[in-house]
Amino acid sequence: MNNQINDLLGFLADSPTPFHAVKNISRRLEGAGFKRLEEAKAWDIKQPGNYYVVRNDSSLIAMRLDQVSGDAGFRMVGAHTDSPCLKVKPRATQCRDGYVMLAVEVYGGALLNPWFDRDLGLAGRINIKTSTGAITSRLLRTDRPVAFIPSLAIHLDRSANEGRNIDRQKHLPAVLMRTDEDQHDFEDLLKTWLTKEEPELDIASILSFELSLHDCQQPALVGLHDEFIASARLDNLLSCHAATEALIASTGPVNRMIVLNDHEEVGSASTSGAAGPFLESVLSRLCRDHEILGRSLERSMLISADNAHAVHPNYADRHEPDHRPLMNAGPVIKINHNQNYATNSESEALFRVVCESNNINYQSFVMRSDLGCGSTIGPITATRVGVRTVDIGVAQLGMHSIRELAGVKDQVDLAHVLRGFFDYPDWPF
């Protein structure tokens, strides 16, 4: 257990953005013998093997193919690589009252209060033009805190603890540095950081960037007995890590696949999101014609793995009385009859059988009838490609905060049950 959890902590620390997460997962896959396929090139897959595909540097599909012809179907696990955060605006810097401020936009449904008074780094993808006119990209991750969003002192707002409203435009710009100038060239700063990482890098100009702030506090085990994981981006890099490790460890003999999409937190509507054509394109190229694809999908199943709401002991009344998941008590089956989750009685039954055959406890979750329900890539993928789907995930607290909490045992159990799904011998279709 310790090796697996320590590996997860390292992965979380090294993956401040979806770009970094996909790069790190790609390295793991290649170390396990997976071959990268390029979407722009022909795929000549005639023998069983291990492959992966990357789109936009932020989404990834990996597969272990045991039957490369016919309509054998696929066992798939889906998760998402993105998390709510603060993204840097194109005209990034503002000089105000003696400070250089970094302008940001809220990405996804972030809890904003926890972003104040924390040591923040900067990470993401930068597109550059070289002196020869070539266009290329690089990933950036500052190795130390470079920004800070300070709270207003209570002396200047005596009602702060009674509920302070956050103006996203006025209150979230981050302090970057002191200045006596009227303007500051953010691109010069990016060049300096990139050149420090790669001294020989040829940078004629910065063309564009996708950067976000991230918490520099390292992931950690917390609790009296180290039974919890505290980290940024547990939703949903925890599931990405478990799915990757389960795929690498699985033995089949079936077609197994992980689908890790970007942009889930903003609705999945992108070329690399679950509502886009990425998975459908990969499946079509593997199955070669619509007849085979249709029969194959009828023999397939997707586990959509995205974290669930553990019962909060200070707000237990916000949960359905008989559906209060606990951390370290097993994966949670998520059910919503209005289809915000894709679970139905058939897919739920199949997942329960896999859990029981692997001696893994499981729980169930439904939202209170008087509260709205979130969603996942599950119903989006099911709608897009027509695959039976079950929505599950480990129970966590602090969802969408800059620092979240999940159970150590749950991460181990999730990886175990996902591998059990890949390797389950007696599938009914």
Residue 367 to residue 311: CA distance in whole angstroms: 11
Average pLDDT over residues 151-173: 91
Per-residue pLDDT, averaged over 163-190, amounts to 91
How confident is the model over 73-93, as pLDDT tens digits?
999 999 999 999 999 999 999
Average pLDDT, the chain: 94
pLDDT tier at 390, thresholds 50, 70, 90? very high
Find how far residue 104's CA is from the centre of its chain: 20
pLDDT tens readout for residues 38-57: 999 999 888 889 999 999 99
Is 9 a residue whose pLDDT tops 90? yes
Residue 128, classed as helix, strand or coil, is strand
Instruction: Enumerate residues 6+ apart whose C-beta is below 8 A from 237.
Output: 11, 12, 15, 21, 81, 83
Is residue 426 classed exposed, middle or buried when 0-12, 13-18 and 19+ CB atoms within 10 A define those classes? exposed
Q: Could you tell me the two tokens for 276?
A: 């886009």
> What SS3 class is residue 369?
coil
Q: What is the pLDDT of residues 295-326, one digit of tens each?
A: 999 999 999 999 999 999 999 988 888 888 99
pLDDT band at 1 (very low <50, low <70, confident <90, very high): low
pTM (predicted TM-score): 0.96
* Total length of the chain: 429
Distances (CA, A) of 155 to 115, 151, 208, 287: 20, 11, 41, 66
Q: Is the peptide bond before 236 cis (omega within 30 degrees of 0)?
A: yes
- The reported pLDDT for the residue numbered 143 is 81
Confidence of residue 184 (pLDDT cuts 50, 70, 90): confident
Asked if residues 418 and 360 have their Cβ atoms less than 8 Å apart, the reply is no
* DSSP at 226: S
Cis? peptide before 338, omega within 30° of 0: no
Least confident interval from 107-116, 272-281, 317-326, 366-375: 366-375
pLDDT by residue (tens digit) across 240-255?
999 999 999 999 789 9
For range 111-126, the mean pLDDT: 97
